[in-house]
Structure 1
Amino acid sequence: MSQTASILVIDDEPQIRKFLRISLASQGYKVLEAATGGDGLAQAALSRPDLVVLDLGLPDMDGQQVLRDLREWSPVPVLVLSVRASEAQKVEALDGGANDYVTKPFGIQEFLARVRALLRQAPAGEANPGPLSLGPLSIDLALRRITLAGVEVALTRKEYALLAQLARHPGRVITQQQLLRDIWGPSHVDDSHYLRIVIGHVRQKLGDDPAAPRFIVTEPGVGYRLMGGEAG
């Protein structure tokens, strides 16, 4: 990864953003900034940065939620930068998909070394996929937008999370246990009735007949798969 890499800083403190902007720019990086979680997610989708620096204490939503939302569609390396120093917070962030965790206050040289390390680990030239098209159904994970025949489909958080998980692996069977673990948590891997209910709601909203599916196929006793589609 060259030092022309772009880095998105999501932090609501103007002085921290200014400090990081100056420090990162001095190393040749392009710096993008966001003061809220919502703006950060939008910039991540539109600008496709090479690295995200994420504060957890944001005014509109918790940084842990920003991380979870980002991980639904992007593999971009994330460096959490937070005053929260408890082991529980660090574990939650790392389990939620963060690549590294630095507590404030921090030394800038160590921070820059961690940035370099994460950029070295990042897959070269990996682009986030465009919308997935399955006939009339379009699934855009970056914009969190599902459309059917050009009309946006309103899904609940759980319904969206389920469809997004299937859309990340089109044509591949995802087991019931994996879906339950990823969407409801490890303590719910045996609660298959949750999954059946949500699958039923998603199918209903997509007009998908389980007896003759166009989109979601049941693999009896195993799990579900989304019909293979084309990335836009």
Structure 2
Amino acid sequence: MTGAAGDGGAAGLELVIVGCAGHGRELLDIVHAINEAAAGTAWRVRGFVDDTPTEVNLKRLQRLDVPYLGSLVTLGDLPTGTHVAVGIGDPRSRRRVARRVASHRLPAATLVHPDATLGTDAEHGEGLVLFAGARVTTNVTFGHHVQLNQNVTIGHDCVVRDHVSVNPLAAVSGDCHLDEGVLVGAGAVVLQGLRIGAEATVGAGACVVRDVPAGTVVKGVPAR
């Protein structure tokens, strides 16, 4: 397995979070939890970058006592080795930003909340984010920049490709395949052995009982 959570050592690694909105600030909470569990500083947060921060979210950053560093152009000025966490929930937007991060040759942080579990024989690319309560069982393979929100479950032998987002309380059964850029909505269920095609969206609360073609939106029970 690559990129263990909070793999910052005693001194801690420098981290910048992209996205000042709620999703990005939730990543800051994960970092705080990792540092607390490590009884030290696994990550040192330099601040946030965002191309279009709202005044409301900038004020929220001030309350958190974390600086706003500027637009994504600022990434080019960061010291070599500074890690970046992409705090964007939408898969397509996250993919665009992840490419910009990669163009600056900056490593993507893997963040696993201490209250999440990553089972045996699991593999992942850089940028994996597991929120509190996420449960991943055995022999699961993740691509790059996958994000599992609060209380998500991923069953055995699943393959989850790059930039997939699984929203809170969703359940993906065993032997499923989520292609690149899939979004699984809050509270949705994907039944055993199914494939969700690239860029498809599963609506909140849906129950998927058959394969979902690429680029489609399905919703309802059963999902159509």
TM-score (norm 2): 0.31
Larger radius of gyration: 1
TM-score (norm 1): 0.30
Larger RCO (alpha carbons 8 Å, 6+ apart)? 1
Structure ranking higher in strand proportion: 2
